[in-house]
Amino acid sequence: MKNDPASINPRKCLVNLCALVPVCLVLHALLAASPARAQGEAPVSPPQSTVQLVQPSSPGPEGAMVTITLQDALERARENDAQFLAAVTDAKIAREDRVQARAALLPSVNDSTQYLGTQGNGVLPSGRYVTNDGVHVYREWGVVHQDLSPTTLMMTGYRRASAAEALARAKAEVARRGLVVTVTKDYYALAVSQRKYATAQQSLDQAQHFLGITQAGEHVGQVAHSDVVKAEIQLEQQKQSFEEAKLAMENDRLALAVLLSPTFNENFTVVDDLDSPHVLPPFPDVQAMAEKENPDLQVAIETVRVARMDVSAARNAFLPSLALDTDYGIEANSFALRSRPSVDPRVGRLPNTGYFVTAVLTLPVWDWGMLRSKLRQAEYRRQQAQADLSQTQREAVSNLYSFYNEALTARGAVESTRRAADLAAESLRLTTLRYQAGESTALEVVDAQNTLTQARNAYDDAESRYRLALADLQTLTGTF
């Protein structure tokens, strides 16, 4: 009978019991290597590292790690990046130049107080210095000056300053958008390296579990020793990959810390929002935005304006210029409204206040060709600015198509690599089951593990590439 204890084969039961050991190990490995990764999942505890990386010490008291979003990173970078701050400072300086150019168009008013002391000669009341009419001369003048040169009348200086201000603002916008690309690149490089670090941890755990499976199978005589050797090789390779992923994550953190912290504090973590949807607008909309919001094109246009104003200023230098000065006040031997003149005190006390007007007309006659040379220089700069504008327009069209196509391709790569990662996870699960059933080799399991790691890393790289492609496109269109 089947239930008769005498009919049970003890050796067969022992073999069946031992066969259950690798099955349990396989199930444990599958549960530990689940392919699903929730968005924003915190990295698991890392295995014991054999390499201790050197990290900079915190400049202040250590506190809780700060969580930084991409917008936070952009705001911090605008406060600390020297190149961007230099562009903003240039725009502020250009604004003050425009204010000064506008003020130069208006009359200026100054006050002047002078005392002229002349050595006497004992005979004449005017003293030894014949220009003066007395030993003591006091001057208190209010001077109104107005420049009536062609540059002033045509407002050439003010128009040039306005164009220079617009040029500086456009350059500041170029610097701002360039900084956005730099920060976006470093920000998502750290986010991707954190993902790859977590993937390396999972791959290392998978390799450790697979080594346990092969060792248990070898112990009961179901697995060849070559499979154990292959599993050990895979484990050592995954250990090295884990150390490389850790190094890459720390390097990316240091690179981002340079942009974000004036004290080089790396006590922060970034929000992984790569899985959040980000819509790419249709090309006609992007083209319309690029026509209005391209700062590179605006820089070229304002450069041409500045060059044209320089040509006008150089031509105005050939024309006559007129300067008017009106002086009102006193110039007398006494610092008073009325006094006796030293040259003839008998006339009594006379008024001291009065005015005089000075008009100076300057006509260029001969300067050995200097003005004409300056005009040629200005014309050369204008010609070069126009050539730069033409090339910038062509490059803007080319970059628009190139950046948009890159964004399209990157978006498609995100979808394809996501599906590839899911398939690779399923392939590893099935291959491991087949290996436990004796239908596959250890080489196939190792290959499935490597394929899963590569697929996950490729998916993370594709998402980072898409975000960077959008940032490059927005350098032409502005934020959308």
Q: Is 56 within the bounds of a domain? A: no
Helical residues (DSSP H) of 317-369, grouped into ranges: none
Q: What is the C-alpha to C-alpha distance for residues 183 and 191, in angstroms, rounded to an integer?
A: 12
User: Which residue range forms the structural domain that includes residue 328?
Assistant: 108-154+320-363
Q: Write phi, then psi, for 259 (nearest 5 degrees).
A: -80, -30
Q: Is 340 within the bounds of a domain? A: yes
- Contacts of range 407-412, beta carbons closer than 8 Å, 24 or more positions apart: 407/280, 407/466, 407/469, 407/470, 407/472, 407/473, 408/280, 410/462, 410/465, 410/466, 410/468, 410/469, 411/280, 411/466
Clarify whether residues 223 and 135 are in a common domain.
no
pLDDT tens track for 400-427: 999 999 999 999 999 999 999 999 999 9
Clarify whether residues 311 and 390 are in a common domain.
yes
Clarify whether residues 412 and 336 are in a common domain.
no
Clarify whether residues 311 and 229 are in a common domain.
yes
Q: Is 38 within the bounds of a domain? A: no
Clarify whether residues 305 and 196 are in a common domain.
yes
Q: Is 455 within the bounds of a domain? A: yes
Confidence at residue 16, expressed as pLDDT on a 0 to 100 scale? 43
Q: Is 11 within the bounds of a domain? A: no
Clarify whether residues 230 and 344 are in a common domain.
no
Clarify whether residues 336 and 401 are in a common domain.
no
Residue 197 has pLDDT above 70, yes or no: yes
Which CATH number does the domain housing residue 416 bear?
Answer: 1.20.1600.10
Q: Is 385 within the bounds of a domain? A: yes
Which CATH number does the domain housing residue 113 bear?
Answer: 2.20.200
Clarify whether residues 253 and 347 are in a common domain.
no
Clarify whether residues 287 and 328 are in a common domain.
no
Confidence at residue 87, expressed as pLDDT on a 0 to 100 scale? 96
**Number of structural domains the chain divides into:** 2
Clarify whether residues 256 and 216 are in a common domain.
yes
Q: Is 50 within the bounds of a domain? A: no
Clarify whether residues 411 and 449 are in a common domain.
yes
pLDDT tens track for 237-247: 999 999 999 99
pTM of the model: 0.78
Confidence at residue 334, expressed as pLDDT on a 0 to 100 scale? 85
